[in-house]
Chain A
Amino acid sequence: MRKDNDTPRQLVKKSAWGIIGANKQIIALLIVAAIFYIVSFIVSGTKFIAILHISSFMALAAMGQTLVFLIAGIDLSVASLLSAAGILLCTLVDKGVSFAGSVVLVIAASAIVGSLNGLGISYLKIPPLVMTVAMQYILRGATLVTTNGKPIAISTASLSYWVNQGVIGPITGGILVTAICCVMLMWMLYKTKFGREIFFMGSSPRVALMSGINNDVITLKVYTLAAALTGLTGIMLVGYTGTAAVRIGDSYLLPSIAAVLLGGTSPLGGKGNVVRTIIGAFILCNTVSLLTVLQMSEAARQVIEGIIVLIFIVVNNVDIQRKKKKKA
């Protein structure tokens, strides 16, 4: 489009349109999010920062999932890992380990679980879905055996206070941690070699392999990183709810995947990023709060969430197909 004889004014105009054109999808997503927020604000009157606070946990849970989706995988062990991380944290704190120490230990343990996932998927060639479902069952069995199914309360109130109250002005600890993770992950995805390799492998594992990228190592790293993020989310959830229970993570499994899909990250890999997921989580939380205020039952809420996710999958996919046709 850009010609050499354009006047400066035309150039500015064109590049402005260029920025909007390049980010068309993300702008559309933001508009959808704004509409969802305005509707839910009119109906329920929930404050922006409150919704942001609730959605920060979902966004954090969905970030690891986003990374896994980028290499065309899926991580269903999230549900049990969230619970397991919370239970481990409470147990360690009870045993007298210092708080910072137990946080580090929990994240390390989660990373080990993730690396087991990664090893199974890359070296034993187990499909991601099966490996992570199996891991979910193993972790659930382990947590049930250790806790006998009873919830554990956290003995330090400071975590709960820090997560839920304003740290910097109205910004709560939950929002702060999510924002920091988001910035770091975006930097990793777009500015480091590893990040570019993730996109490369996600778009076409075969081509990546032929260009000398070690897919197995990337898979291993991505699953480990995702599980570490999930462990962090588990800790934040303990702060959010004040207790750790075996089933606490189950209600976060499908929303975490839904948030990723709502944000337009492709389940086929190679397309999407973390910011989109955060917007997706925001949309989802608005929907949930809207449906709660409308006094929908848990069952009806689940059905409507499922239908919304289905619609978004279809819409996103139609968009991809149209693009492919245009190129051809």
Chain B
Amino acid sequence: MRKQSIFLKKYGELIPIYVVMILMIGINVWKQPNFFSVTTLSRTFNQLAPYIFISMAQMCIMLIGGMNFALGGLVSLSTCIFAKTMVESDLRNIPRIIAVILLIGVMEALVGYIIGHFRLPTIVVTLATSFIYEGLALGILPTPGGYVSPNIATFLTGRIGPISVAFLMCLVFVVIWCLIRRSSVGLLIYAVGQNRNAAFSSGLNVTWGYVMAFFINGVLAALAGLMLCARTMSGDPRIANDMTINAVTAAVLGGVTFSGGEGKIAGTIAGAVVVGMLVNVLFYLNITGFYTYFVQGIILIISVVVNNWRRGARRNA
């Protein structure tokens, strides 16, 4: 067999999704000549940041096996809590924001504990929690509204020098994920996802793996909620309910598998960019309104089929 370079072996499967991503960006540049200006770039990042966070959150759960069906509801709930807890004084807002992010993380960690301890199927439990989160969101904020501090919103959607804050936040959390991935927790998540029984037999704490995966998932979902809050300047109990499918599509496009234990952050982010830019591209193609549902469904099916086919081809090689 011909020797391949290590880089190609490790990241070769990500080439197609990056080609699609560059194509998407290309269409945007073509239709929007000032795409690379500082303001347009930062606006694009503000639009993409929630998709990137929610896709990373979905990736965490898919890596350990299963998928989080409640993710959209959770993001909506977090926007409601943010909009409800923020006050005028920004000095008091910062600890509040951190507390809300941790609260959402701990809530999800509890769900992870239930799934890990009782050995329940992830999909069914998250289906039940999606009920609970959507109900809670409607209970906290029946109609879109609430108060989001303008200073915080302008900071999050603005930029430091020429670099957008949304981009920096994504970068920071990607770096954090890369560190987690190389730590014992990351290895635990991948090990449980690959083969739960083998992980248990080797003396790993499977329940802890679920707790950590769901905790990270919750924190990322809360961050997606924060970015949405900053962009819309309000909380909305239904804003992200349709984003669950987008997150799954992004992760699958990025090569994360449903059986768990396989997938890379680099792919997921490319997938998230593609999914996030899709709205723009569909707009340029004059596909609007009701047809987007149609296109989203078909793209999801195609991406899963291509992913399966690629994995099959690699196994046979």
Closest approach, in angstroms, between the C-beta of A126 and any C-beta of chain B? 5
Contacts A138-B298, A300-B139 given; indicate if A306 touches B128 (C-beta within 8 A): yes
Q: Is the interface of A mostly helix, strand, loop or mixed?
A: helix
Question: Taking CB as reference atom, which chain A residue is nearest B131?
Answer: A306
Known: A299-B136, A309-B131. A130 touches B252 (CB 8 A): yes
Say yes or no: is B243 at the interface (Cβ < 8 Å to chain A). Answer: no
Take A126-B304, A261-B124, A321-B119 as given contacts and tell me if A145 and B138 are in contact as well, using a CB distance cutoff of 8 Å: no
A131 to B305 CA separation, bound complex (whole angstroms): 10
Give Cα A258–Cα B124 distance, bound, in whole angstroms. Answer: 9
Interface residues of A in 260-317 (CB under 8 A from B): 261, 267-268, 297-307, 309-310, 313-314, 317
Q: Which residues of A contact B308 (CB under 8 A)?
A: 124-126
- Taken residue by residue from 64 to 85, chain A's Cβ proximity to chain B (1 for < 8 Å, 0 otherwise) reads as 0000000000100000000000
Within 8 A of B (CB), among A122-165: 124-127, 129-131, 133-138, 140-142, 144-145, 149
Whether A254 is near chain B, meaning CB under 8 Å from some CB there, is yes
* In contact, B293 and A138 (Cβ under 8 angstroms): yes
Most chain A beta carbons < 10 A, residue from B290, B294, B296, B298:
B290
Cα distance, A258 to B132, chains bound together (Å): 13
Residues in B with CB closer than 8 Å to A309 are 127-128, 131
Q: Cβ of B178 < 8 Å from any Cβ of A? A: no
Contact at A313–B136, with CB atoms within 8 Å?
no
B305 and A310 form a contact (CB under 8 A):
no
Q: Say yes or no for A237: interface residue by CB 8 A criterion.
A: no
**Chain B contact patch, size range:** 35 or more
- Contact code string B119-134 (vs A, CB < 8 Å = 1, else 0): 1110111011111101
Asked if residues B135 and A141 are in contact (CB atoms below 8 Å), the reply is no
Chain A residue contacts of B128, Cβ below 8 A: 258, 306-307, 309-310, 313
Is B245 in contact with chain A by the CB < 8 A criterion? yes
Q: Is B150 an interface residue (CB 8 A)?
A: no
B248 adjacent to A137 (CB under 8 Å): no
| Chain B residues whose CB sits within 8 angstroms of the CB of A195 once the complex forms | none
Q: Does A257 contact B (CB under 8 A)?
A: yes
CB distance from B252 to the nearest CB of A (A): 7
A242 within 8 A of B: no
A310: chain B residues at CB < 8 Å are: 114, 125, 128-129, 132
A141 and B294 form a contact (CB under 8 A): yes
Contacts of A142 in B (CB 8 A): 294
Report which of A141, A267, A300, A313 forms a contact with B297, defined as CB distance below 8 A: A141
CA distance A136 to B136 in the complex (A): 25
Query: Would you give the shortest CB distance from A164 to chain B, in whole angstroms?
Result: 28
* Contact residue among B137, B298, B305 (Cβ-Cβ distance under 8 Å from A126): B305
Please give, as numbers and ranges, the residues of chain A lying within 8 Å of B137 by CB-CB distance: 299
Least Cβ distance of B74 to chain A in Å?
Answer: 13
A-chain residues with CB within 8 Å of residue B135 when the two chains form the complex: 298-306
Q: Does A50 contact B (CB under 8 A)?
A: no
Closest to A136 in B: B297
Question: CB distance B297 to A138 under 8 Å?
Answer: yes
Q: In the complex, how many angstroms separate the beta carbon of A276 from the nearest chain B beta carbon?
A: 16
In the bound complex, what is the Cα–Cα distance between A267 and B123 (angstroms)? Answer: 9
B300 within 8 A of A: yes
Does B175 touch A at the CB level, under 8 Å?
no
A318: Cβ under 8 A from any B Cβ = yes
Partner of A302 from the list B67, B132, B252 (CB cut-off 8 Å) is B132
Q: How far is the CA of A268 from the CA of B125 in the complex (A)?
A: 13
Flag if A317 contacts B119 (CB, 8 Å): yes
B195: CB under 8 A from chain A?
Answer: no
Give the residue name and chain of the B residue nearest to A137 (CB): B297
Q: A126-B308, A303-B131, A313-B128 are in contact. Are A133 and B123 (CB under 8 A)?
A: no
**Nearest Cβ on chain B to A94's Cβ, whole angstroms:** 21
Residues in chain A near residue B132, CB distance under 8 A: 302-303, 306-307, 310
Complex contact A130–B138 (CB within 8 A): no
Q: Does B301 contact A (CB under 8 A)?
A: yes
The 8 Å CB contact of B294, one of A127, A137, A301, is A137
Decide: A124 and B305 in contact? CB cutoff 8 A.
Answer: yes
A-chain residues with CB within 8 Å of residue B298 when the two chains form the complex: 134, 138
Set B119, B127, B252, B289: member contacting A254, Cβ < 8 A = B127
**Given A137-B293, A141-B292, A318-B118: A131 in contact with B258 (beta carbons within 8 A):** no
* Closest B residue to A146 using CB positions: B290
Q: Which residues of A contact B69 (CB under 8 A)?
A: 129
Q: Does B142 contact A (CB under 8 A)?
A: yes
Chain A residues closer than 8 Å to B296, beta-carbon distance: 134, 137
Q: Is the beta-carbon distance between B139 and A303 smaller than 8 angstroms? A: yes
Instruction: Please indicate the chain B residues that have their CB under 8 angstroms from the CB of A134 in the complex.
Output: 245, 296-298, 300-301
Complex Cα spacing A142 to B296, Å: 12
Q: Is B30 an interface residue (CB 8 A)?
A: no
Q: Is the CB of A130 within 8 A of B131?
A: no
Q: Is the CB of B123 within 8 A of A129?
A: yes
Of listed A125, A134, A140, A142, residue having the most chain B CB within 10 A: A134
Docked Cα-Cα span, A177 to B246, in Å, equals: 38
Q: Which residues of A come within 8 Å of B, CB atoms?
A: 74, 120, 124-127, 129-131, 133-138, 140-142, 144-145, 149, 254, 257-258, 261, 267-268, 297-307, 309-310, 313-314, 317-318, 321
Supply 12 A–B pairs (Cβ within 8 Å), ascending by A.
A74-B123, A127-B304, A130-B301, A134-B296, A135-B297, A137-B300, A138-B298, A149-B290, A257-B124, A258-B131, A302-B134, A313-B125
- Interfacial residues, chain B to chain A (CB-CB below 8 A): 67, 69, 114, 118-121, 123-125, 127-132, 134-139, 142, 245, 248, 252, 258, 289-298, 300-301, 304-305, 308
Which 10 residue pairs of A and B lie closest in terms of their CB atoms, listed nearest first? A306-B131, A302-B135, A141-B294, A137-B297, A141-B293, A299-B138, A303-B135, A306-B132, A144-B290, A299-B139
